[in-house]
Structure formats: structure tokens, C-alpha cells
Chains A and B, each alone.
Chain A
Amino acid sequence: MFDGLIERLQDIAVVANKELKHCFRDAHVLIYTVFVPLILYPISLVSLSEYTLWREGLAETRPVRLAYVKDGMERIPELVQVVKETKKIAVTESEDPIHDLEQNKLECVVDGSGAPEKINVMLNPSSDRFLETRVLMQSRSYDARALAMKNAVEKVAGANKVSKVFEIETHNVGTMGGRKASLQDMEITAFSTTIVLVAFYGYTMLIITVGAIYPALAAFTEEAEKKTKATTYLLPVERSTVVVGKFAAVTILTILSGLVNFLSMAFVALYFTAKLEWLKRALTLAMKQYSLENLLGVLLLFMLSTLLVASIYSLIASTAKSFKEAQNISSLVLITVTILPMVALLPGWTLDIRTAFIPILNMVLCAKAIVTDSVGGLEMTVACAESVAITATLLYLSQVIFWGKEPANANQDFSAANR
């Protein structure tokens, strides 16, 4: 019996090896499983950040031109002070500011003559920098308002009593996930939870789902489309050996896709932490949230999710008679599989005995529970057991559907019907 099992495993390995070779030589597989997570993700994020930084730099070298209506300037000292400290704004002298604004010689005119009741900030909508100026002036007016408020309170209460009004007490503010925590802890927990949910699950689920589609199509659907199913059937091995071997190859490629994605994420994280000091600080704090046990737990959930996704696409690929049909079904499933992790981000969704039965979503909620230290043993066991059971069922169905009652019988029926 033991020899039989070893022989079977060896056969599965041979089939998986062949499928990996066959899949890896397919352009679709290479693009969606390797290149998209490897290149597109870092390139898109890095180029977006570079563009943002470039725009920031551009704004400093070519500041927004602003002029005051002279009569009201002394009535808005806080805004004048804030604007003066902003590198992105250059204050310009103008005899007729409204005319200059119309002529696009200015991007913004500030009229403080109605202050403190009303301050008019005028912009030219036909200017190519209209949106940028609007956002900038909005943020500056918030700062000016805060400064005015602080000055007003200082006048009444004295400078040394003001600081407490603008600071938040950070000690003993309650618990999160049943654990005593300071506000700072809570912020880090929230941040690291968001990282797990959005970066890890949201994006990784999308990547592994996309990464699983084409290997599954190459391993299963192609056999029907390229008439190799009968060839495969002639192999003197059990039918299940072939299907399990194919599934193993699809799973390996899906995991690979996920790992490549992690590498990309690591690269992007390193890139951003080198550029942005606040992110480096936040990531360092967030990493303290993860113990080795937590990481292993999340990794186990990743493996279970990958197996489930691979089995879903193996079933779709076994059912479809052509690439086109498989692609159409895959698109619908892709939406469902990637939306479920996003649902976990909504308020009120936690792992309980009901949500533990919702496939994929339960895996994300498990991950959420792990990083917030609110793991329920029963719910976690139910979620993992259900995921394994669904994977096994889908794999069994893949085998039944892939081979059918009699391989090639449908073709035979068809040709017989046309005789």
C-alpha cells in the first residue's frame, strides 16, 4: 500500500512537472502570472509617486501667483502669514488684481475686506492650474482658521494654557480587540489591519486570482480545444492522478504569482520608505504588531486561499469547452472573488460563526482577527475546515467533469450524429 502511494505521488509529480513546462511556455501565463505582479504593480505605483513628487517640485519652481485686494489685507493677518510660509504660492503686486486674474496673469485673488464675516478667494476656472490652486487655497484656509482660533484663545486664556486644547490625551483610552491599548497602539493596529486587508488580501487575492486563470486554462481547457484529451487518457495511470497533477501545477503557479506579488510589494515598500519618512515610521511601528505566530497564521490562510482559488479555476477550466467560454466564466468569478475581500473592509464585518461559512471572505476575516488579536478558535477552525472541504469538492468535480463519463464521447456522438 505504501509503495502504491509513493508510485502515485511520483506519477502526480511527473504530470505536474509536464504541466508546469507546458504552462510556462504559454505567453498568457507568463504575462498574467509573472509579469503583471512583477512589473505592472511596482511600475504603476512608483511612477504614480514619481509623478506626484514631480508635480510637487513643479509647484515649487512655478508657484501659484496670488494677489491681495489691498484694502482688506490687514483684516486677514493669519491667512497672509500662512500664505507667506507656503513655497507653492508667490504673492504678486497688482494694480488691478481682478483684471490680471481674467488675463491669466494671476491664479488667485484674495479679498479680505469683508473679514471676519467673509473672505473672498477668487479663481479663474479657465486657468490650467485652477484645480491645483483650489485645493491649495482650501488647505491654506483651514490652516489660517486654526491659527486664528489659536490666537483668539491665547488672547483670552494666556499662551501657556493653550497647548492642552490642541493636544490629545494618548493614555488609557480604552481597549481594542479585548486588549488594553493606547491611542497610538490603536492607530498602529488600524494601520496594520488595513495593510493586511488592502495590500495583502485585497491586492494579493486579485493577483492570485488573475494568476490562476491562465495556468488552469492551459492545463485543462487546452486539452479539449487542442484535442489532446484522448492522448492524455491513454496514459496508463489513474484518471485522478492526471487531474491532481494538473491541479498541483495550477496551485504552484498561483502560489508563485502570489510570491512574486509579495516581492513586488516589498520592493515598493522599500522604495516608498526610502522616499517618505512618515511611511517608514508607520511601517516600522506596524511591523511590531506582527509576531512570528501571526505571520505564520496569515501565511496558512494565504495557502488555503490559494488552494481554493486554484480549485475554483480548475473546475471552470474543466467545464469549459473552449478558451473563450472559460475566459467568460472566469471574468464573472474574478469579480466575485476579488469583491469578497473588500467586503471585509466595511464596518461591522468580523469573524463570527455566520461569516465563518462565507468562502474567501472568511479567510480575510480570519486574517483580520489574527492581526487584531481577536481570534475565536471555533470560528477559525470552521472557516479553515470549510475552505479545505470546498477545495476538495471542487477538485473532485473537476475530475468528474474533465473526463466526463467517457472521454471524447461527446465528439464521437457529434460525429456519429453527422454521419
Chain B
Amino acid sequence: MGLEAINLTKRFFDAKRGEFNAVQSVSFACHKGEIFGLLGPNGAGKTTTLRMITTILKPTSGTAKINDFDVTTNPRQVRKQLGFVSADTGLYERLTPREILTYFGKLSKYPKEKLTERIAEVTSMLQMESFLDSRCEKLSTGMKQKVSIARAIVHDPPVIIMDEPTTGLDVLTSQVLHRFILQCKEMNKCVVFSSHIMSEAEKLCDRMAIIHKGQVLASGTLEELRAESGMHYLEDIFLNVVKEDDIVEA
């Protein structure tokens, strides 16, 4: 049980390039109590992959399963099973964090009698108490990111997916977020996050996949990647894999 991506492919059309594959046959799995990192430079296909997994985009071919629910055939059940945070998942500006959490909690069918308690638990975990009743339009970037995360997990989903969650955040807020991701692991959640910050992946991920030009070029635990490449630091391993791919293509 957890998340499984099976040969996910997404083809787009654009006037200059014609049809092209933004994501090509991407496969990986993330189990309960595991943190999985999807690493790649900008435009590698991380966001498209995560959007397909979260049902926002339909795969051109391939599929993904969340707790055995297929994203192509049972998207509504899939959405119940996951929480997704990305730069595109904005907040309703004129609502307060408490109102947003209540809204998502209610529509996700979280038990009514426990919802208030759950909101208190989540906001305490993310240190949000001080701005829980301020309108979102008045919050800082870090505060907004916390609200986004709280919104994604208020219904206590077994799978949490984050698309570059620390981008644009200061060190302190990033630390809170890192602690939260580790807490999720302790709570036996399946966590997938994308990043281009290697130190973050090194610190948090149990396993990871390096994605470039829509394809997974390498995957495994940090130790496995080190053994395969003969390099110690993840940044070196990453650059080595990406460069090799560029040379092969040239």
C-alpha cells in the first residue's frame, strides 16, 4: 500500500516543437513510512509527473495507483487518499486558514465531531496558531506555505505529495517543514516530494529518483546511488547523471 507510478507518460503539443513528451515512461513506488524524492532540474518533468499522480492531469499513457485506487479510473477516491501541495495550489485570499481547513475537512468527509480537534492538531504541528484567523491575503509567503500544507493534510491522508515545498521559504520555515516531513514518516505516511535542492533530499529522503527531460535516469537509496556512481555527495551524483545523459544525447 502506498503510491505506485507505472510508465507514466504525458505528451503535449506546442506550435514551435510540435508534439513532445514532457514525461516519458516514469515508474517508481513509495511505501508507507517512506520519504521518496523526485529530483531534477527546472523543466525536468517533476511537476507534470506529480500532477498526473494527483489527477490534475490525465496521463497520455501509463497510470498511477494510490492505495490501489487507479488515477485514471477512480480519480475521486484517489483525491481522498492524498494531500498535494505545489506552487499552483493557491489559497482563497479572503478566507482565513481556519475557514479553508474547515472547508477542505468537510468536503473530504473528515468526521464532523473531530474536525475542530484535527484542525487544532495540524495547526499546532505547523506552528500556525498566531495567524489562524487572519485572512490569507495578509499572510507572508512562509505562512501561506504552512496553510497550504495544513490544507493538504487536514483530512489525514495516507499519501502526501509536495512539489518543491521549500522553494522561496526562509531557513526557519524550511526547518519547520523538514521536521513536519519527518513527522509524517513517523506517522507511517507515504511522502513524495520533488526538489532541486540536493541537501534537502540528502537529509530527508529514504529513496529517490533523478529525473531529467521527462525520464527517470537513476533511482534508489542514497547508498545505492553512491555505490553505482562511485561519488559521495548527492550533488555530484546528480550532475554526473544529468551530464552523462546530455553527452549521450549529443
Q: What are 18 A-B residue pairs whose CB atoms fall within 8 Å in the complex?
A: A14-B107, A15-B107, A18-B92, A18-B103, A22-B94, A22-B95, A25-B95, A226-B92, A231-B90, A234-B89, A235-B107, A236-B107, A408-B88, A412-B22, A416-B14, A416-B22, A417-B15, A417-B16
Q: Which residues of B contact A11 (CB under 8 A)?
A: 107
**Other-chain contact of B88, A22, A230, A235, A237 (Cβ < 8 Å):** A230
A412 CA to B13 CA, complexed, in Å:
11
A406 CA to B17 CA, complexed, in Å:
21
Min C-beta distance of B60 to chain A, whole Å: 11
Tell me if A407 counts as interface (CB < 8 A to partner B).
yes
Interface residues of A in 205-253 (CB under 8 A from B): 226-228, 230-231, 233-238
Interface residues of B in 61-99 (CB under 8 A from A): 76-77, 79-80, 84, 86-95, 99
Tell me if B151 counts as interface (CB < 8 A to partner A).
yes
Tell me if A277 counts as interface (CB < 8 A to partner B).
no
Tell me if B123 counts as interface (CB < 8 A to partner A).
no
B residues sitting closer than 8 Å to A (CB atoms) are 12-17, 20, 22, 43, 47-48, 51, 54-58, 76-77, 79-80, 84, 86-95, 99, 103-104, 106-109, 135, 151-152
Q: Which residues of A contact B80 (CB under 8 A)?
A: 236
Please judge, given known A-B contacts A26-B94, A412-B12, A412-B51, whether A14 and B103 are in contact too, CB under 8 Å. yes
A236 CA to B56 CA, complexed, in Å:
12
Q: Which residue of A lies closest to B93 (CB)?
A: A226
A419 CA to B17 CA, complexed, in Å:
11
A238 CA to B47 CA, complexed, in Å:
24
A227 CA to B93 CA, complexed, in Å:
11
Q: Which residues of B contact A409 (CB under 8 A)?
A: 57
Tell me if A167 counts as interface (CB < 8 A to partner B).
no
Tell me if A21 counts as interface (CB < 8 A to partner B).
yes
Min C-beta distance of A247 to chain B, whole Å: 17
Min C-beta distance of B84 to chain A, whole Å: 6
Please judge, given known A-B contacts A14-B103, A235-B79, A235-B107, whether A412 and B90 are in contact too, CB under 8 Å. no
A25 CA to B93 CA, complexed, in Å:
10
A231 touches B57 (CB 8 A): no
Please judge, given known A-B contacts A236-B79, A408-B88, A413-B13, whether A230 and B107 are in contact too, CB under 8 Å. no
A237 touches B107 (CB 8 A): yes
Tell me if A163 counts as interface (CB < 8 A to partner B).
no
Q: Which residue of A lies closest to B103 (CB)?
A: A18
Tell me if A411 counts as interface (CB < 8 A to partner B).
yes
Min C-beta distance of B138 to chain A, whole Å: 12
Min C-beta distance of B122 to chain A, whole Å: 16
Interface size for A (C-beta < 8 A) is 30
Q: Which residues of A contact B89 (CB under 8 A)?
A: 227-228, 230-231, 234
Q: Which residues of B contact A236 (CB under 8 A)?
A: 76-77, 79-80, 107-109
**What 6 pairs across the A-B complex have the smallest Cβ distances?**
A417-B14, A227-B90, A25-B94, A419-B43, A236-B79, A236-B80
A406 CA to B59 CA, complexed, in Å:
10
Interface residues of A in 9-52 (CB under 8 A from B): 11, 14-15, 18, 21-22, 25-26
Min C-beta distance of B250 to chain A, whole Å: 18
A413 touches B90 (CB 8 A): no
A25 touches B108 (CB 8 A): no
Q: Which residues of B contact A234 (CB under 8 A)?
A: 54, 56, 79, 84, 89, 152
Please judge, given known A-B contacts A231-B91, A231-B151, whether A14 and B106 are in contact too, CB under 8 Å. yes
B51 touches A408 (CB 8 A): yes
Min C-beta distance of B140 to chain A, whole Å: 17
Which residue among B13, B80, B89 has the maximum number of chain A CB atoms within 10 Å of its CB?
B89
A406 touches B58 (CB 8 A): yes
A412 touches B103 (CB 8 A): no
Task: Mark contacts of A328-361 with chain B using CB atoms, 8 A cut-off: 1 yes-contact digit, 0 otherwise.
Answer: 0000000000000000000000000000000000
Min C-beta distance of A413 to chain B, whole Å: 6
Q: Which residue of A lies closest to B94 (CB)?
A: A25
A408 CA to B109 CA, complexed, in Å:
25
Please judge, given known A-B contacts A231-B151, A407-B56, whether A237 and B12 are in contact too, CB under 8 Å. no
Q: Which residues of B contact A411 (CB under 8 A)?
A: 88
Q: Which residues of B contact A408 (CB under 8 A)?
A: 51, 56-57, 88
A18 CA to B56 CA, complexed, in Å:
22
Q: Which residue of B lies closest to A237 (CB)?
A: B107
Q: Which residues of B contact A230 (CB under 8 A)?
A: 56, 86, 88-90
Min C-beta distance of B115 to chain A, whole Å: 12
Min C-beta distance of A220 to chain B, whole Å: 13
Min C-beta distance of B94 to chain A, whole Å: 4
A417 CA to B48 CA, complexed, in Å:
13
Min C-beta distance of A176 to chain B, whole Å: 53
Q: Which residues of A contact B90 (CB under 8 A)?
A: 226-228, 230-231
A107 CA to B124 CA, complexed, in Å:
82
Min C-beta distance of A198 to chain B, whole Å: 37
Q: Which residues of B contact A413 (CB under 8 A)?
A: 12-14
Q: Which residues of A contact B88 (CB under 8 A)?
A: 227, 230, 408, 411
A234 CA to B20 CA, complexed, in Å:
27
A227 CA to B89 CA, complexed, in Å:
7
